[in-house]
Amino acid sequence: MIPLKKIASYLHGHLIGNGEIEVSGISGIKDARAGEITFLAHARYKKFLASCKASAIIVGKEFPPGGLANVNLIVVERPELAYIKAAELFAQPRGMEAGVSRLAFVSGEARIADGVSVAPYAFVDENAVIQSGTVIYPFCCVGKNVTIDEGCTLYPHVTIYPDVKIGKNVVVHSGTVIGSDGFGYVWDGQEHRKIPHLGTVVIEDNVEIGANVTIDRGSLGTTRIGRGTKIDNLVQIAHNVSIGENSIIVSQVGISGSATIGKNVVLAGQAGIADHVTVGDNVMAGGRAGITGDVPSNAIISGTPHMPHREWLKLNSYLKRLPLLFEKMKKMEEKLHLEDGND
């Protein structure tokens, strides 16, 4: 239980109402109950305010203070960021006690720092180096010569192939595979000959990787995920790809080999990037975009093959009118045919 005034102070918000009430948790605006705090991040959720049972609501400065009677408010600059900070107050720790389980296999040649947690049935191979504060859940496999820096979390069934390097505070969710061979073959006239993949993967600091993601190692060089980048579930990143800092890669995106993605890029769901393509900084690609060539920085694109988003919107408006256009053309043809018959 946390007094509301303490939450308001922590959020650097302006409190309107009773700061002495105790808050037990945080919930969405439709589900919140008495004793909980919620937030209003977008105008479309205002319709739920009348039925909201929360004891307090985090709102933006544009929300009129008199908009709700007898409801405690915390007014902040950005409600969505304040929500994150408030949620952190109530989040339950997910870590484990430090130490290596006797049911885990850790090579005698691995170096495990004090403060590392290795769960039962995890596997850590020789010459792996794992730094303090890292948590490795059951059934994870950490290969030879892997380095994992401080404060990382590997959830169950994560596989890290040999020689991969992982920075600080990286989170990898269940089922993800980092460092597998890229998909590269050459036809020799009789069979597909596999191209050896002798490179590695580098995951920089503060990256989060969702569940069932695959990140292939470089064929000779490095596949690199830049600092602060966040990758959703079910993403495929091929060999020798480079992704810049603070990019967002949404579910089911596929990035082909040797593509270069800049900083602060957003790739929406099911976008596909062809091999050897360069996508500049601050690019936003819409869902299912097919990126077949280089994209300059600061572009907003959609469609397949990709095009400027406004152009794509215009094209789609034309497509919606095609049935009407065909109907008009049919009537014109019938009219012309009748006129020709009269001649």
Coil, strand or helix at 100: strand
- The position carrying tokens 């994870």 is 140
Per-residue pLDDT of the chain (343 residues; tens, 9 = 90+): 999 999 999 999 999 999 999 999 999 999 999 999 999 978 888 888 888 999 999 999 887 655 566 789 999 999 999 999 999 999 877 778 889 999 999 999 999 999 999 999 999 999 999 999 999 999 999 999 999 999 999 999 999 999 999 999 999 999 999 999 999 999 999 999 999 999 999 999 999 999 999 999 999 999 999 999 999 999 999 999 999 999 999 999 999 999 999 999 999 999 999 999 999 999 999 999 999 999 999 999 999 999 999 999 888 888 888 888 888 888 888 888 776 665 5
**The one catalytic residue among 173, 197, 239, 306:** 239
Please give the biggest Cα pair distance in the chain.
98
Query: Which two tokens mark 231?
Result: 């990758």
Give the pLDDT confidence score for residue 93 in this predicted structure.
74
Of 98, 63, 95, give the one whose Cα is nearest residue 79: 63
Query: Which two tokens mark 193?
Result: 């000959």
Give the pLDDT confidence score for residue 45 in this predicted structure.
87
Q: Which residues pair with 314 in a beta bridge?
A: none
Give the fold, CATH level 3, of 2-90.
3.40.1390
Give the pLDDT confidence score for residue 322 in this predicted structure.
87
Give the fold, CATH level 3, of 104-307.
UDP N-Acetylglucosamine Acyltransferase; domain 1 (2.160.10)
Enumerate long-range contacts of 299-307, CB under 8 Å, 24 or more apart: 304/272
* Cα 199–Cα 144–Cα 99 angle in degrees, nearest 5: 135
Coil, strand or helix at 334: helix
Distance CA 294, CA 280 (A): 8
Query: Which two tokens mark 271?
Result: 């976008």
Instruction: Collect all residues with Cβ–Cβ distance below 8 Å to 129 and sequence separation of at least 6.
Output: 110, 111, 146, 147, 148
Give the pLDDT confidence score for residue 318 in this predicted structure.
86
CA atoms within 13 A on the CB side of 72: 23
What are phi and psi for residue 133, nearest 5 degrees?
Answer: 85, -5
Residue pair 218/196 in contact (Cβ under 8 Å)? The answer is no
Give the pLDDT confidence score for residue 119 in this predicted structure.
97
**Is 239 among the residues known to form the active site?**
yes
